[in-house]
Structure 1
Amino acid sequence: MTHRTLSQAALADLADIPARSRWTHRDGIRLHALDYGGDGVPLVILPGITSPAVSMDFVARALTDLVRPVVLDVRGRGLSDDGEGYTLENYAADVEAVAEQLNLDRPLLLGHSMGARIAAAAAVRGKIALRGVVLVDPPLSGPGRGPYPTTLEAFLTQLHEAQRGTDAGEVARAWPRWPRREQELRARWLSSCGETAVKATHEGFESEDFFDWWPRIDAATPTTLLYGADSPVVTAEGATEAERALPSARLIQVPDAGHMLFWDNPDIALALLREALTTPHPLQECPSMGKLVHDRLHG
């Protein structure tokens, strides 16, 4: 059963975030996003399995001088509605609806973990024109590839702690490296994630093969994959397979970071993300996302 709650303290966090709530819908599901505004190239940010939009605030803020971040509350999380069918196809269709209804012209996509898989699916579906995609430590799991390294039980334990009422100190036991603010936000917002959504998505990590999508991203779409040097999700072997499967993609390793690389090593991870957005992509013949952002910034 889905049990989702948000405290007044959690909602008050939105007052300290320099973004406007934007609402769209698809098939009767209301989708919420945080829009940081500006006239930069739109960058749709897609968070992970138990990460509401607010959890990516520090990432979005670090990019507002380069792009216009729009962070989605993926269905079943944050302020977005629950929905039927937590599949990559449905998630990608939600992203398409958000881009179309908010008039985001040829956006970039940036996805972390679950969000990276969604970004890959949206790129392959081709329903909206994209300037490029950045995938951050996507689960490479799928049928016959072994289990996702974090068990469903581990996710549900943390979710039930949040539903019962937790604090940053308890969050720190699972995520000791995170900045204190991010531990506090997780303590207040994790209970906004629906158990049904988490269960279905975790099952999808093992039933939906990332490599059914990744090799089909058009070589003309500037594509970057960032991954943690110590990640159990994108291992060295997985990175090698990803590189072989899509030679047009650029792979960037983030040192001293696991799967949650922006939280584990924020300064370096954000610097490398900015570099990925502003450095011309060496393997694409078409204009890169970096050139597009550079041209927008410098006229």
Structure 2
Amino acid sequence: MSAVSDRVLTQPALAELANVPATSVWVRSGSLRLHLLDYGPADGVPLVVLPGITSPAITMDFVARELTDLVRPLVLDVRGRGLSDDGPGYDLDAYAADVEAVIDQLNLSAPLLFGHSMGARIAAKAAPSAQGVVLADPPMSHAGRPYPTALDTFAAQLEQAQCGTDADEVAASWPRWPRREQELRAGWLASCSRTAIAATHAGFESEEFPPLWEKLAGPAVLLFGKDSPVVTPEDVTALKRANPAHPLVGIDNAGHMLFWDEPRPALRALRSALKDLLAR
């Protein structure tokens, strides 16, 4: 017998999809049903967008809608989040298989990948299936270096969301975020599986990013927040040394949540990175 899901999605949160200029599409990855938001245009270069550990697809709306003149963003509800099904697995192999299923079943020709945080690790793992990748602040943690945000912190935020949080409570933790992003997090965080978050957090410390970066042969750009505790100045130096073929671009005054902390500069950097990949 399968376990009862702890995920919650209220009608007001679901109704927010009506304010998103995208179409819901569905694919299967094995037995799982995966949900994406397709922003079009249909003839645009596909850009599969992979959000972070507690970020359902709708929370990337403010980024995706600004890219449709360049590409066709398709934002994935990563398994265990949003409207996509739960696991069973939450390791990088499983996540990358989901990306490959999206590319195959939607017949995406020569797609680009863009991922933030957890999504950046997934994009690096799935890079052989794409013509280029943009990686935003991938976790550099490993077995000897804990991820800066403890699992207990994520668990407390999730519990708060499942009890019925609001934008004001979210603002207490994330005061710099745009108000709509605080509202969306309040409504959609509870759609994330506790199991998915815990397993992914463990993966941040058991699955290392540098080996994926070192093997990246295709076009790639890495964005990082200059004030991020996740990608430190020492990490930037090491990444440049490990694979000097790929540019690293820092966002001033931004922490790990660079698109939320500094939306306009981060978006400019992302657009520039995509233009660079498309030119290649």
Deviations along 1:124-144, one digit per CA (max 9) or x if unpaired, are xx3x2x221000000011123
Deviations 1:61-111 (A, max 9, x none): 110111000000000000000011100010000000011101111100000
- Residue 275 of structure 1: CA displacement? 1.1
Please say if 1:173 is aligned against 2:172. yes
RMSD: 1.0
Partner of 2:211: 212
Return the TM-score normalized by structure 2.
0.97
Of residues 88, 91, 112 in structure 1, which corresponds to 2:95? 91
Residue 268 of structure 1: aligned partner: 265
2:100 aligned with 1:112: no
Residues 31-70 of structure 1 aligned to structure 2 (within 5 Å): 31-38=34-41, 39-70=43-74
Q: What's the TM-score once normalised by structure 1's chain length?
A: 0.91
2:148 aligns with 149
Match of 2:24 among 13, 21, 25: 21
Distance 1:141 1:103 in 2: 34
> After the TM superposition, which residues 113-132 of structure 1 pair with which residues of structure 2 at under 5 Å, given as runs?
113-123=117-127, 126=128, 128=129, 130-132=130-132
Please name the residue that 1:240 is paired with: 237
Question: Given the alignment of the two structures, is residue 8 of structure 1 paired with residue 11 of structure 2, yes or no?
Answer: yes
List, as ranges, runs of 4+ consecutive aligned residues in structure 1 with deviation greater than 3 Å.
Answer: none
- 1:290 aligns to 2:265 (yes or no): no
Secondary structure in structure 2 of the residue aligned to 1:213 = helix
Percent sequence identity is: 63
Residue identity matched to 2:254: A
Q: How does 1:212-231 map to 2 (within 5 A)?
A: 212-218=211-217, 221-231=218-228
* Local SS of the residue matching 1:239: helix
Distance in 1 (CA, whole Å) between partners of 2:71 and 2:36 is 16
Amino acid at match of 2:143: P
- The one-letter code matched in structure 1 to 2:45 is V
Cα distance in 1 for partners of 2:270, 2:185 equals 22
Structure 2 unpaired stretches of 5+? none
Name the residue aligned to 1:282. none
